Structure 1
Amino acid sequence: MWQPRKNDLEGGSQQLYPVMLEDPTLRWSFIRKVYSIIAVQLLATVVVGAIVVSYKPIAHFFTSSSGGLACYIILIITPFIVLCPLYYYHQSHPVNYLLLGIFTISLAFSIGLTCAFTSGKVILESVILTTAVVLSLTAYTFWAAKRGHDFNFLGPFLFGALIVLIIFSLIQIFFPLGKIGVMIYGCVASIIFCGYIVYDTDNLIKRYTYDEYIWAAVALYLDIINLFLSLLTVFRAADS
């Protein structure tokens, strides 16, 4: 069994987890590539979201006119539609980057419209807490993986919880929740996506192949965005 001769984190040869069979330098390079893509996605999301929030006519167009509402619906479903070809072409360069750009920008517009009618204080609170949680969970997962902990067992539980969450959100369209119910829903959703951050980070460290950098970035990006939206739901309900 191959063992690294030197534990040098800066040099990229730090062993990521026990019984590691691959060259740590390659895995560290892969991880840096994925986080670079996520950073660009988050930057694009912040820029597009800030434009939508600050330039009010955009939000009013999407919410006040019939044509705008139709465009809003198309904008919401676009990321889900793009996910299908993105999954199929996620290893095909440069198509994968083109599809990733469409996916990110369309989702960023949807997030911007969600934030357009939310107070700046609530948005700032959600951003700060999301940043703190993501950094903490990421550091913890790397620390735990180094000590031999594995989080693959979380997959079935998180998937089941996500299905329940989706069904529950569809039910509340017809039977709206009260303020307390919305806060509980947001808290439960936040916990689920915290679990997904740990699970997908563990997969990034151990299981994704080097050609799956796009899909790894998409998974973690969605975890971060969904955590932000869940916390936004909680703070918005508390602020109302």
Structure 2
Amino acid sequence: MENSFENPMPQQRMALSAVAQEERVAFYKKTYAHVAVGVLVFIFFEYLFLQSEAVVNFALSMTEGFKWLLMLGGFMFITNYAENMALKTPDKNKQYLAFGLYILAEAFIFIPMIYIALTYLPQGSEMIQQAGIVTLALFSGLTAVVFVTKKDFSFLKTGLTIGFFIALGLIVAGTLFGFNMGLWFSVGMCLLAGGSILYQTSNLVKKYTIDDYIPAALGLFASLMLLFWYVLRIFMSRD
């Protein structure tokens, strides 16, 4: 098992672009099934976190000033580590561990926003459900665009990279100087998240082999959660 990466089975490590349509369909089914399970596990982790007053208070305390930057930095470190682990190892156990670690980090960073919505906003539970439905609808629609048109959206990579760096700079500046990004920033981030979904989906065939459905699912899950974060912010800004 240890040397399976160095001496891969031809079928196991074959690029997705080189296999028959039936095998691609099987890969897509596995990938999107793992994304769906990831969403369910995220909900489960979020529920457990919200049951602990100590965890909630700690997460809320990390939203103040420089602590929020530390929290974002820790989140980025953990998620990047998980993504690299999933991509660089053929070991399924390590890939699942990386996926689970990523989901756990996402659930933790969502605690303050979910808690505020549930505790302080009228019909907060319904608002979260509506944001989730809108997010899944957008995700499904963007995914369908890629599969129906078969268009290559890899050209979005440069624009997405620049956009995310600009967004990160604005978030840091907003934290340091205490200004609110506002509704239009959330709208812009939704557009970036949508572009990321298009890019990740169209890149499935080029980037992965037929055995890489877990790393593929992790990438799509990351874009889905980014979209959900800013869709929920838009819903919350109405109250």
User: What is the TM-score when the length of structure 2 is the normalising length?
Assistant: 0.77
CA deviation after TM superposition for structure 1 residue 45, in Å: 0.5
Alpha-carbon shift at residue 207 of structure 1 (Å): 4.2
Give the unaligned 5+ runs of structure 2: 1-16, 118-123
Who is 2:6 aligned against?
Answer: none
Decide whether the 8 Å contact of 1:182 with 1:234 is kept in 2.
no
SS at structure 2 position matched to 1:94:
helix
The whole-number CA distance in structure 1 between the counterparts of 2:80 and 2:165 is: 16
Secondary structure of 2:130 counterpart: helix
**Structure 1 residue 105 displacement after superposition:** 2.1
Q: Answer yes or no: is 1:52 the counterpart of 2:49.
A: yes
Deviating beyond 4 angstroms after TM superposition, the runs of 4 or more aligned structure 1 residues are 54-57, 72-75
The correspondence for 1:134, drawn from 139, 147, 150, is 139
Q: Which residue of 2 aligns with 1:191?
A: 191
How do 1:57-136 residues align onto structure 2 when only pairs under 5 Å count? Answer: 58-63=55-60, 73=71, 76=75, 77-89=77-89, 91-118=90-117, 119-136=124-141
User: Aligned partners of 2:79, 2:87: CA distance in 1, in Å?
Assistant: 12
Of residues 142, 155, 158 in structure 2, which corresponds to 1:156?
158
Alignment-mate amino acid for residue 209 of structure 2: T
Residues 59 and 109 of structure 2 are in contact (CA less than 8 Å); yes or no, is this contact kept in structure 1? Answer: no
Q: Quote the offset at 1:50 in angstroms.
A: 2.8
Instruction: Note if contact 1:141-1:201 (Cα within 8 Å) is conserved in structure 2.
Output: yes
Letter of the structure 2 residue corresponding to residue 143 of structure 1: V
1:167 aligns with 2:169: yes
Q: 5 Å matches for 1:32-47?
A: 32-47=29-44
Equivalent AA in structure 1 for residue 171 of structure 2:
S
TM-score, with length taken from structure 1: 0.76
Partner of 2:92: helix, strand, or coil? coil
Q: What is the alpha-carbon distance in structure 2 between the residues aligned to residue 233 and residue 56 of structure 1?
A: 23
Q: Residue type of the partner of 1:201?
A: T
Separation in structure 2 between the aligned mates of residue 59 and residue 152 of structure 1, nearest angstrom: 39
Q: Percent identity?
A: 23
Question: How far 1:102 sits from its partner (Å)?
Answer: 2.1
Cα distance in 2 for residues equivalent to 1:93 and 1:52? 27
Larger relative contact order (Cα-Cα within 8 Å, sequence gap ≥ 6): 2
Q: Deviations over 1:123-142 (max 9, x none)?
A: 22311210111111111211
Root-mean-square deviation (Å):
2.6
1:105-132 per-position Cα deviation (integer Å, ceiling 9, x unaligned): 2322322343111132432231121011
Alignment match, 1:213: 213
2:182 alignment partner, SS class: helix
Partners of 1:205 and 1:87 in 2: how far apart?
Answer: 15
The change in CA–CA distance for 1:156 and 1:61 in structure 2 (over 3 A counts) is closer
Alpha-carbon distance between aligned partners in 1 of 2:226 and 2:196, rounded to the nearest angstrom: 10
Structure-1 separation of matches of 2:132 and 2:201 = 20
Change (3 A) 1:62 1:196: closer
Moved more, 110-119 or 124-133: 110-119
2:211 alignment partner, SS class = helix
